[in-house]
Amino acid sequence: MAQTLRNRIRRRVEYDRWRLARRLFAPRALSNEAALTPVHVQGCLVLADREVMIREHLPKHGVVAEVGVHQGINARTILEGAQPRELHLIDLTFSILQEHLIEPGLHDGIVQLHEQDSADALAAFPDEYFDWIYIDANHYYAGVKRDIEQAKRKVKRDGLLVFNDYITFSHAEFVYYGVVRAVNELCLEDGWAFRYLALAPHMYCDVALTRLT
């Protein structure tokens, strides 16, 4: 009986949060996000998750950057799965980075750490330097736009930009994300298209983009 009551309370709280989120954020999200056209998704391959994307589809032995590293779990996947010859990890702080996850790359000099603002760090590299860049830093619209403005110049003409958390509203954090809006604008205004869509739990998906030819 007590368990049933707790479940009812939990469901009610979740429903009330959903109603509040819809009232506060849905009109804003819908008004700001431009719709893609068929040319921007033609030939896009849907994958089971980002690990499959990194290990089986993204270029190997290249020069790679991960913008926003957190604990380093995805950096380990990139290091092991894509086998880059250079992996540049960029974050405001590496205070929670678990260096043992990427220790082989640090030891061999493949992994280089850049502890600074993501856009500033990318700006320091030569143009068309990276084969692909994985962007998972500030998820607010202005932050994503700043990273995009640098990343699109620093990736090779045939390179890829990969974005984590292509989702409008984070129901886990109860905040609006600007990733969808910024990525869609990149496609529409600069001529990029979806190459891969990697699914994720609760639809915090990854998307990989290339320039339209």
Residues 27-59 have pLDDT tens digits of 554 556 789 999 999 999 999 999 999 999 999
194 vs 9, higher pLDDT = 194
Neighbouring C-alpha atoms within 13 Å toward the C-beta of 46: 4
What does the domain layout of the chain look like in residue ranges?
1-32, 54-161+173-191
Residue type, 148: I
What pLDDT score does 8 carry?
A: 74
Average pLDDT over residues 159-168: 98
Token match 């678990």: residue?
A: 98
Q: Is a pLDDT exceeding 70 seen at residue 21?
A: no
pLDDT for the residue 120: 98
121 φ, ψ to 5°? -65, -45
What is the bridge-based pairing of β-strands 111-115 and 86-91? parallel
pLDDT for 28: 55
- 157, 144 Cβ separation under 8 angstroms: no
Per-residue pLDDT band for 105 (boundaries 50, 70, 90) equals very high
- Find the DSSP H helices in the chain: 2-32, 50-56, 73-81, 103-108, 118-123, 141-154, 179-190
Q: What angle is formed at CA 61 by the lines to CA 58 and CA 66, rounded to 5 degrees?
A: 60
What is the enclosing helix (H) or strand (E) of 91? strand 86-91
What is the dotted CATH code of the domain comprising 54-161+173-191?
3.40.50.150
Q: What is the pLDDT of residue 132?
A: 98
Residue 191 phi, psi dihedral angles, 5° rounding: 75, 50
Q: Under a CB-based contact definition with an 8 Å cutoff, are residues 105 and 111 in contact?
A: yes
Give dist(CA 182, CA 185) in Å, integer.
Answer: 5
Of 212, 200, 179, 210, the closest CA to residue 46 belongs to: 200
Q: What crossing angle do the helices spanning 179-190 and 141-154 adopt, rounded to 10°?
A: 40
